[in-house]
Amino acid sequence: MGRTGEAGVTTAKTSLERIPRIHPATALRYGWPVLALLAVLWFPFDWLSTVWPAFGIPFRAVFRNIHDHFIGHTVFFLLVGLLVLTYLPAVRRRPQWYFPGLVLAALVQETIQALFRGQAPAFTDVNAFKGDALGGTLAFALWALWLVVPLLRRVPAGSRDPALR
């Protein structure tokens, strides 16, 4: 609906008037897990391993070669993906939001790592991106499977094949 102007003419609402207002306390209440997740995801662990040797020893043990680096990124983005799907229910039904967000998170993560190494982001670490993509996709597939399995168990009693009993 529009508003009535000075001459009785109805004017359309502007796009800003149609945006739902969210109270900052509500946004913080539901948004803090996502902010915490992004802080962990985008923290420069590679840099931390160079300035804090006690952290660097186990970090280098996990990320010691290209294969382990791939596995580390896969597991990390699997956990990140599962947490995102847990705390952002709207994304569960909208893969068109989840997967571009996953790509953006991976690009930002690699950018931060490069900047803390004193380098320009080159996005040439295809191995890390493959691990990120595999972990995030696996998280989405596991979440979908988690939702489907209970539905498959709810088969009505009359529709079951007597030969399978």
Residues 78 and 75: their CA atoms lie apart, in Å, by 5
Residues 28 and 25: their CA atoms lie apart, in Å, by 5
| Confidence category of residue 10, pLDDT binned at 50, 70, 90 | low
Q: At what angle do helices 95-116 and 24-41 cross, to 10 degrees?
A: 60
pTM here?
A: 0.72
Within a domain: 13: no
| Residue-range definition of the domain harbouring residue 52 | 26-146
Residues 30 and 25: their CA atoms lie apart, in Å, by 9
CA angle 45, 54, 64 (to 5 degrees): 60
SS3 11: strand
> Considering its fold, how many domains does the chain have in total?
1
Lowest mean pLDDT among 15-29, 70-84, 132-146: 15-29
Residues 87 and 1: their CA atoms lie apart, in Å, by 34
Within a domain: 15: no
Look at strands 3-4 and 10-11 and give their pairing.
antiparallel
Within a domain: 164: no
Within a domain: 153: no
Within a domain: 56: yes
pLDDT digits (tens, 9 = 90+) for 84-139: 898 888 888 889 999 999 999 999 998 998 899 898 888 888 888 999 999 999 99
CA 63 to each of CA 35, 66, 127, 133, 162: distance values in angstroms, whole numbers, following the listed order? 25, 8, 12, 18, 54
Within a domain: 124: yes
Within a domain: 99: yes
pLDDT digits (tens, 9 = 90+) for 107-119: 999 899 889 989 8
| Confidence category of residue 38, pLDDT binned at 50, 70, 90 | confident
